[in-house]
Amino acid sequence: MIKNRNGNIIVTNKQQNSVLEKLYDTFSGRMLLRLLTAPIISKTAGKFMDSPFSVPLVKIFIENHNIDTSQYVMKKFRSYNEFFTRRIKSESRPIDYCAKHLISPCDAKLSVYRINHNSIFRIKNSLYRVSDLLDNDFMARRYDGGYCFIYRLEVDDYHRYCYIDDGMKTVNTFIKGELHTVNPIALKRYNIYKRNCREYTMLHTDNFGDVVHIEVGAMLVGKICNHHGEYRFAKGEEKGMFQFGGSTIVQLFEKNKVRPDMDIIRNTREGFETVVRYGEKTGVSLSRI
C-alpha cells in the first residue's frame, strides 16, 4: 500500500498488479517466470526496446498511464527506450540544495528500515541481509545500527536518478543475478533483492558519511546505466538511469549519520510505502543538527 507525503492512500498500476499476481501466485505463472527471468530474454527485450520497431508503444504507454508529457522534454523518439529514459524539465523536479537535507535520488515509493545488529531488515514480511545485497560480509558490518532506504520505481516513474550530496564515489561493482520484477507481489515467493542483478558503489559524501548506493535490476530491464566510474560528484547531479521496466534503488547509511523524515518512518511501520520525488527532502544529516 502507498501513501503520499500528505498522508493520503493512493492506488497505482492496478492492471500491472493483476498480471503479476497471476505470474507469482499460480503454478503455470511460476513456470512462465523461469523463461521470463532468463537473462537472454531480458537482453532480447532490451534490444527490441532500443529499435525503431518499438516506437508505436510510446503512444500506448502515454495513454495507458496518463503521463503528463508537459513535465518532460518531448521530441520525436527513435525507440521506446529513448522515450522511457526521457529527461524531465528541471523546474518539474526542483532539487533541495540545503546541505543538511537528505534528498531522494529518484521518483519512487520509499520504505525505510533500521539495520539491526544481525544486519537483517524486513521488507513486506521477508527478511533480507545487507550482506546478501552486497555479497560482502565485511562491508555489511559497517552498517549495523544504520538505516536502509528502499526506493521502488514503477514503470510510469521518472527513471533517471541523481546523487544525494557532494562527494566522491568509488568504482561500480556489478553482481549477476536473475531478473525479477521488484513489485511487492513478487516478495511473496522470491527474495527479490538477493536474486536480481545489481550494481553498487560507495559514495563518500560530505554530510551523510559513507553511503552504499545500489541499483537493482528488474524483469525486462535491458540494463542499469551509470554515467561514472570513480568520480567526484555534486548534489543533484545525474548519476544514471534505468532502461525499460520497474527498478529499485537501495541506499545504506551508517549509524548516527542520518535521521529519516518522521512521516516516512511512520508510514513504513504501518506497512505503507511513501511517494517521493527526485530531489525531494527525505531526511536530515545528524552531523548538521
What residues are paired with 203 via a beta bridge? 169, 211
Q: What pLDDT was estimated at residue 118?
A: 72
pLDDT band at 123 (very low <50, low <70, confident <90, very high): very low
The mean pLDDT of 235-240, rounded to a whole number, is 98
- One DSSP character per residue, 138-192 reads HHHHTTTTSEEEEEEPPTTS--EEE-SSSEEE---EEE-------SGGGGGT--H
The mean pLDDT of 92-97, rounded to a whole number, is 97
pLDDT band at 42 (very low <50, low <70, confident <90, very high): low
Give the residue among 196, 199, 200 at the shortest CA–CA distance from 177.
Answer: 196
Grid-cell match 520504505, residue found: 111
* DSSP 8-state symbol, 106: S
The mean pLDDT of 67-93, rounded to a whole number, is 93
Question: Which grid cell is 166?
Answer: 557532494
Grid-cell match 546478501, residue found: 132
pLDDT at residue 124 greater than cutoff 50: no
* DSSP 8-state symbol, 74: -
Q: What pLDDT was estimated at residue 244?
A: 75
- Beta-sheet strands, E only, within 99-152: 101-103, 108-114, 120-123, 126-129, 147-152
Model's pTM, two decimal places?
A: 0.84
> How many residues are given for the chain?
289
Q: What pLDDT was estimated at residue 239?
A: 98
Q: Which residues belong to the active site?
A: 107, 247
Digit-coded pLDDT (tens) for 101-114: 999 999 999 999 99
CA distance 104 to 283: 9
